[in-house]
Amino acid sequence: MQDFKGVSRRTFVRTAAGALAAGVGASAGLTWFPAASHARMKNLRGAADRINIGVIGTGGQGTWHVQNLLSKAERENVAVTMVCDVYKRRLENARKLIKGDEKSAVMEYERILDNKDVHAVLISTPDHWHVKMAIEAMEAGKDVYVEKPLSHTIEQAIACRNAVRKSGRVLAVGPQRTSEQRWWSAGEAIRAGRIGPVVWSQGSYCRNSREGQFNWRIDPDAGPSATAGEGYVDWDRWLGHQHGLAEKIPWNADHFFRFRKYYAYNGGVATDLMYHWLTPLLLSIHGPDGAYPRRVMSGGGQYIEKDGRDIADTMLLTADYDTHSVFLTSVMVNDVGVPEMIRGQQGQLEPTGDGWSVKEQGTWAREFRKANGIEIKEVEAQGRKRLEPPAGQATSSIKAPGNKDGRDHVENWIDALRGKAKVNCNVELGCAAMVAIKMGVESYRQSKVFTWDAKNEKIVG
């Protein structure tokens, strides 16, 4: 295991600390702060200034980001001026998309960070690289969009959170549901007391496939020995073993093309999919900075997908917070999940196509109706007074279609780069969610229940 004990973790912590110190004279304590305040000023780019973006990792999601940014380029006054990937074919494809010259497409992300004309980077590599790149980008004076999940390990997530706090840079984390208005409206409803105190909530991300989940196409000519054509992969740079990000292993196409199947690089369905639900649930229940769990436990198993992968095909995770619990499921061999829901003592929020249905708990019907502005009507029935509609049957609704402020997740980041908005998934929320999700991964893997030592920011098993 690579992230909770042993060399790799120590190496990363050292790397992260070193990265924070390197080049910014942290020991003198001076250079960092001026750099940060300069950075903060640069965050507030005027509407007229073009924002130049470098995209690091141009595989499936990174290519989507490149195309998406290109489609918005004129309207948003942004440009993708550099791209980076360690797989030549994907890099070349991205270079063609941005119509760049040779210098615009690089295999070493450091060359993007060195380019002063690049203002912001979008990181879409596998998870084990996210935080190292994000911290180094911030040190280089760049703002960051980092794909979900924030990191591979808890230590990385905290290092990244602390680096953002210290530098004042803009950093958005990628779970796009946090930009949906309905989660922000759910939060308003909760804080207005419309369902009473939140007790538990749930979310689900389930799929089914004949070929095995994540068994995506492998290019047969790809690998580190394919030096002639476009198949070349800088495998060492993909692994990042020099930095303690993963173990050094010989070329493995399944690991490269299907990294989600292996715990060395991510947390399987928990980091890939559950993270998408936990972030908006925490946003609604706790607000934009989320909250850290008290205890996390997971169950599940690898019941069907036994093709040499590590990860569970069926995972059920429970995270207890100080005042409520969250239940998440992610199953890759049956696509019927549990519906998303937020339950309070007096009512619950159930999703509709464009918002929420707010449903009452009969026991608390009067309180619920008062909090939801529903007239309390009583009728005589069989010599007794009862509520009309009967207790347990009143509903209210929340219309919250589309995205917050009409801006999607990437547009929200662009607004934040211009100082016009706060990012919808900030590093506080990204880190808090990461802690719970990673505790869940380790709970499953180690058959243990983990608690969170909030003071020392460590997990206790």
Ligand X SMILES: NC(=O)c1ccc[n+]([C@@H]2O[C@H](COP(=O)([O-])OP(=O)(O)OC[C@H]3O[C@@H](n4cnc5c(N)ncnc54)[C@H](O)[C@@H]3O)[C@@H](O)[C@H]2O)c1
Would you tell me which residues interact with ligand X (CB under 6 A)?
56-62, 84-87, 90, 109, 124-127, 129, 147-148, 174, 176, 237-238, 259, 272
User: Nearest to residue 151, comparing CAs of 136, 165, 130?
Assistant: 130
Nearest CB to ligand X, comparing residues 195 and 278 = 278
CB of 234 to ligand X, least distance (A): 8
CB of 379 to ligand X, least distance (A): 50
User: Nearest to residue 437, comparing CAs of 179, 151, 36?
Assistant: 151
CB of 66 to ligand X, least distance (A): 11
CB of 364 to ligand X, least distance (A): 37
Nearest CB to ligand X, comparing residues 22 and 253 = 253
- DSSP letters along 161-230, please? HHHHHHH---EEE--GGGGBHHHHHHHHHHHTTTT-SEEEEEEE-----SS-TT-----TT-BTT--SST
**Residue nearest ligand X (C-beta atom):** 59
CB of 119 to ligand X, least distance (A): 19
Nearest CB to ligand X, comparing residues 59 and 293 = 59
User: Nearest to residue 347, comparing CAs of 177, 203, 184, 201?
Assistant: 201
Nearest CB to ligand X, comparing residues 106 and 394 = 106
User: Nearest to residue 161, comparing CAs of 131, 182, 181, 123?
Assistant: 131
CB of 205 to ligand X, least distance (A): 11
CB of 72 to ligand X, least distance (A): 16
CB of 109 to ligand X, least distance (A): 5
User: Nearest to residue 413, comparing CAs of 400, 422, 405?
Assistant: 422
User: Nearest to residue 388, comparing CAs of 376, 398, 396, 399?
Assistant: 376
Amino acid present at 298:
S
CA dihedral 441→443→444→446, nearest 10 degrees, is 110
Residue 280 contacts residue 178 (beta carbons within 8 Å): yes
Nearest CB to ligand X, comparing residues 347 and 440 = 440
Nearest CB to ligand X, comparing residues 34 and 60 = 60
Amino acid present at 423:
V
Nearest CB to ligand X, comparing residues 104 and 124 = 124
> Rounded to whole angstroms, what are the CA distances from 165 to 36, 160, 287, 420, 459?
10, 9, 18, 19, 22
Nearest CB to ligand X, comparing residues 68 and 395 = 68
Residue 446 contacts residue 438 (beta carbons within 8 Å): no
Phi, psi of 363 (to 5 degrees): -60, -30
